[in-house]
Amino acid sequence: MLLTPHSVDLKSMSSSVPPYVGYAVPTPGLGLGWTRVADVLREYVTFEDVARIWVFPLLRHDGREWGTAVVAKHATPERFTVLTAKYMLSTRGRERGQAKVELEEVGEGPVHVVLDVVSGVQQRTGDGEAPVEIPPELWFSRDDDESAAET
């Protein structure tokens, strides 16, 4: 069971104290919200199409959780198509467990440019945490593609 801190002002905490003291540290790319994103993404792309996935740190506030991922999909051997996947998950109340997922194709570019854009997003937002690259196997399996081909 994944627990998150409650009523903790992370900005006032000493930098020597990690924000998840006493709690399980969330694994980037895993959790109910990311599962919903992976379900939508698998409807749009295959395992072989996905080159790389980066997930940005989660935002949690007022019983909601927001997550953003950038997915690089092979367009040609030298170029990636870039997708953004976002979700908002209700974590409390009657709507608990309900999620809204958006998947948008935002551009295409050479591999090195895509990498620069992903690192630039973190710098522009001023977020102290960089996005984490996760293996596509975390959201996909080769079995997904094989079973889809059989139907």
β-pairing verdict for 50-55 and 59-61:
unpaired
117 within 8 A of 109, measured Cβ to Cβ = yes
Nearest Cα to Cα of residue 81 among 70, 89, 91, 93: 70
Q: Is the pLDDT of residue 14 over 60?
A: no
> Which three-class secondary structure state does DSSP give residue 91?
coil
Task: Provide the phi-psi class of 32: left if phi over 0, else alpha when psi is between -120 and 50, else beta.
Answer: alpha
pTM for this predicted structure: 0.72
Q: What gap in Å lies between CA 10 and CA 129, rounded to an integer?
A: 13
pLDDT at position 142, please?
A: 62
User: For residue 144, what pLDDT band results from cuts at 50, 70 and 90?
Assistant: low
Residue 72's DSSP bridge partners are: 52, 82
pLDDT in tens, 91-129: 888 888 888 999 999 889 998 888 787 777 666 666 667
